[in-house]
Structure 1
Amino acid sequence: MEKSRKKDLKEARTLQIWNVIYDVTEVVISLIAGIMANSSALIGWALDSTIEVISATTLGWRLHGEIKGINEEKVKRRKKITLYVIAASFALVCLFISYDSITKLINRETASWSTLGLIILLVSLVANPILIYFKRKYGNKLDSPALLADAKDTFICLYQTVVVLAGLLLVKWLGLWWADPIAALLIVPYAAKEGWEAYSKAKDIDYNVG
């Protein structure tokens, strides 16, 4: 393995480690804020971020394997299993968000203001563009479709951050009780799309068993 590629692989793996640390922090804080404020959007955003944790952790695992010279068939097997796990996780997220949001729309439940939620959303607006930049950088340098796809997932997370933030502010400033569950429902199409893509990619991976 060329020294420059190995160096890039190690730096990309370090990036994924920091990504996991940030995403775990994001999940914990946004879940706490969402539960305290009864916010479907914040809870849905937190659950979607757990998929980011799974994706980033797995990608870091795969990068580590390449650094250590892991067998190609083992890499394929890990990727296939992980993609199925991600697909199943997205499906569960879609079901939860849909049920929770529709129930709140029927019952006309609204979310309370969450300063903690506002803070983590604003932090995410700064952190995600940085992660996207470096994932694209190393994705192109390593010619890695996985890293480039992960950058795309982070971009979708950035979009969702804007949507959830808008819902939170609409409830606060304009008293639109339906803004929070609607903001949560806007996450569902993207989560469903990513889940289907993960499932389709998993089906396309072939490896020798044994």
Structure 2
Amino acid sequence: MTPKYRIILASFVVSTFLMIVKFVAYYMTYSSAILTDALESIINVVASGFAFYAIYLASQPKDLNHPYGHGKIEFFSAGLEGVLIVLASIFIIFHAVQNFFNPQPLSDLPLGLGIIISGVIVNWFLGYYIEKEGIKYQSPTLIADGKHLKLDAQSGVILIAAVALVVFTKSAWVDGVASVIFALYMGWSGIKIMRKSIGGLMDETDQETLEKVVQILKNNKKSEWIDIHNLRIQHYGADLHIDCHITLPRYYNLEVVHANVHEFEDILGAEFQGNVEIFIHADPCLDDCCYYCKVQDCPIRKFPVSKNIEWNEVNLSLNQKHFIESI
């Protein structure tokens, strides 16, 4: 069993146990705040179950139908988790409003309070660990699940305060207000998770990864790498795909071109964990490239160097060689 399997399995087991305990606490207290926490736990269980399947599917090798692998299922899994969070927040608000008009007597609140505190501690540490491992393995599924568990822990803090106020003030309406406030916060968090998932499915530019790639290239720049353009980065779950065009001196033979491309790939691949797939298209230089070419003693130079092309996120992403007119 891979580390990601073990992590998500632990999340599923712990979430299932906490869900059962929280529903027992609700039926003992009839607290809307505790019900909010219990409903959130249902989402944790469902999301962890689907996340386990998503991680399994994402680990399958490439095939003819999926030449880039199955990693994008992780974005779908994270998006589903966001949808479930939003749906739960809507139900919680509906239930809390109902309780305003048909209040239920509360009982055994100190016991419920103790259960929520225990759940907060477990969820926070588990969520922190899963999110950290998700970042380590570049797994959108683990990151979303970790954020969700931490969100559950944050809800617990709010609910602890609400239940404590009910215990000391005997004001039952505080219970419903706390549920509505957190449901709104929970819904907004779910929308943000959905937004990030949709961005991944649509190959939205990952600015952080793009900046890292550009910085790596700047730090390892070779004079024979005359120009880099059409740099594109795509995430397939935990897998990273990078492709770009590199301009090399046109008098290089195929063996030298291959050596430069291979070095380019090794430099980028060494800086990322997980599976990194790099496709490099080699272009021959043109006369206009002389204006910014730094190759010393070039036997075919037509013009002196007069410009410097800054390697940044914009310039390297453009789908064109950086001719003098484009500067």
Select the residue among 1, 26, 32 that pairs with 2:18: 26
Counterparts of 1:32-47 in structure 2 under 5 Å?
Answer: 32-47=24-39
2:72 is the alignment partner of 1:76: yes
Query: Is 1:129 aligned to 2:121, yes or no?
Result: no
Deviation readout 1:41-78 (Å, 9 max, x if unpaired):
11111111222223322333233334443655544357
Range with bigger deviation, 184-193 or 85-94: 85-94
Question: What amino acid sits opposite 1:27 in the alignment?
Answer: M
What's 1:3 paired with?
A: none
Partner residue, 1:119: 114
Instruction: Confirm or deny: 8 A CA contact 2:25 2:115 kept in the other structure.
Output: no
* CA positional deviation for 1:198: 4.3
Name the structure 2 match of 1:167: 162
Structure 1 match to 2:95 = 100
| 1:94–1:160 CA distance, 2 compared to 1 (3 A) | same
**Is the contact made by 2:110 and 2:167 (CA closer than 8 Å) also made in structure 1?**
no
Q: 2:6 maps to what in 1?
A: 14
Q: Of residues 46, 50, 55 in structure 1, which corresponds to 2:47?
A: 55
TM-score (norm 2): 0.53
Could you say what secondary structure the match of 1:69 adopts?
coil
User: 1:112 is paired with a residue of what secondary structure?
Assistant: coil
Shift of 1:39: 1.1
Give per-residue Cα distances to partners, 1:67-98, cap 9 Å, x unaligned: 44365554435743x45643443343223211
Instruction: Please report how far the alpha carbon of residue 122 of structure 1 lies from its aligned counterpart in structure 2 after TM superposition.
Output: 2.2
Q: Which amino acid aligns with 2:15?
A: D
Aligned mates of 1:199, 1:145 — CA distance in 2 = 11
Q: Specify the code of the residue in structure 2 equivalent to 1:29.
A: V
1:147 aligns with 2:139: no
Structure 2, unpaired ranges of 5+: 204-327
Q: Please give the TM-score of this superposition, normalised by the length of structure 1.
A: 0.78
- 8 Å CA contact 1:41–1:183 kept in 2: the answer is yes
Secondary structure at the aligned position of 1:186 is classed as helix
The whole-number CA distance in structure 2 between the counterparts of 1:88 and 1:151 is 16
More helix by share: 1
The answer to whether structure 1 residue 138 and structure 2 residue 171 are counterparts is no
Distance apart, 1:136 and its partner CA: 3.3
Q: Residue type matched to 1:60 in 2?
A: F
Aligned residue pairs: how many? 198
Superimposed CA distance per residue, residues 100-149 of structure 1 (whole angstroms, 9 cap, x where no aligned partner): 21222234545322455233312223212321332233123213343233
Could you list the per-position Cα deviations for residues 160-192 of structure 1 after superposition, in whole angstroms to 9, with x for gaps in the alignment?
011112222222222121121112112211221
Q: Which amino acid aligns with 1:185?
A: V
Q: Which has the higher contact order (CA 8 A, sep 6+)?
A: 1
